[in-house]
Amino acid sequence: MNQLSLAIDLSRCIGCKTCVAACRNYHGLTDHASDMPGKMPYYLRVESRREGSFPNLKLESWVVPCQHCNNAPCVKACKSGSISKDEQTGIVRIDQGKCQGSGDCLKACPYGVIQFDAARNKAHKCDMCWDLVHGGQKPVCAQVCLTDAIRFGEKQLLRMELKAEGKEILKRMSAQSVLYYRDSV
């Protein structure tokens, strides 16, 4: 398996959430006419960490999509067998036809990235834009990122690129299939 991956640059992410809105639009997660703030599903979220005290401050932001875990707990937790890690790409997918809506995967996910659609009684989440990537395109978040802070590709190639550029890969954050990195200090 050649794991597909996103590589997220903490030196470039400005926390603008453009990826969140674009992802919602592409995946049809929003009913524009009726949805209300706080009620919309999301496949990505932005996190940030601010350190220091005035005036010596540091702030880093990054996005958290599904991590497409190496040994995905959601796959194990799903009793209906509707979640699988794709052999070819490593993308973790939920088969909407099979999903029974038990919600077990939501509880099992250590990253809190699985959404639950109560109306359809289905779990759903980031599939790394399966259809787009199989058509030779990048996932939406990588396409739209305002500062080009999101790269897409095979994990080992991305890692090679980042190493060649002297980037610091954040090992703790990159424990699964998504890489997080920053400019080396």
Residue 177 gets which letter from DSSP? S
How far the first Cα of the chain sits from its last, in Å, is 33
**Candidates 48-56, 97-105, 123-131, 153-161; binding stretch for another protein (CB under 8 A):** 48-56
For another protein, give the closer residue by CB, 45 or 100. 45
Query: Least CB distance from residue 42 to another protein, whole Å?
Result: 5
| Alpha-carbon gap, residue 23 to 143, rounded angstroms | 10
Query: What CA dihedral angle connects 125, 129, 134 and 135, to 10 degrees?
Result: 150
Out of 37, 97, 135, 166, the residue judged to bind another protein by CB under 8 A: 37
Would you say 167 and 182 are in contact if contact means Cβ atoms under 8 Å apart?
Answer: yes
47 lines the binding site for another protein (CB under 8 A):
no
For another protein, give the closer residue by CB, 50 or 79. 50
User: Pattern of binders to another protein over 53-72, x per CB under 8 A?
Assistant: xxx-xxxxx-----------
- Name every residue whose Cβ is closer than 8 Å to that of residue 52 and which is 6 or more positions away in sequence: 58
21 lines the binding site for another protein (CB under 8 A):
yes
Burial class (CB in 10 A: 0-12, 13-18, 19+), 129: buried
Residues in contact with another protein by CB under 8 A are: 11-12, 14-18, 20-22, 24-26, 28, 30, 32-38, 40, 42, 45-46, 50, 52-55, 57-61, 143-144, 146-148
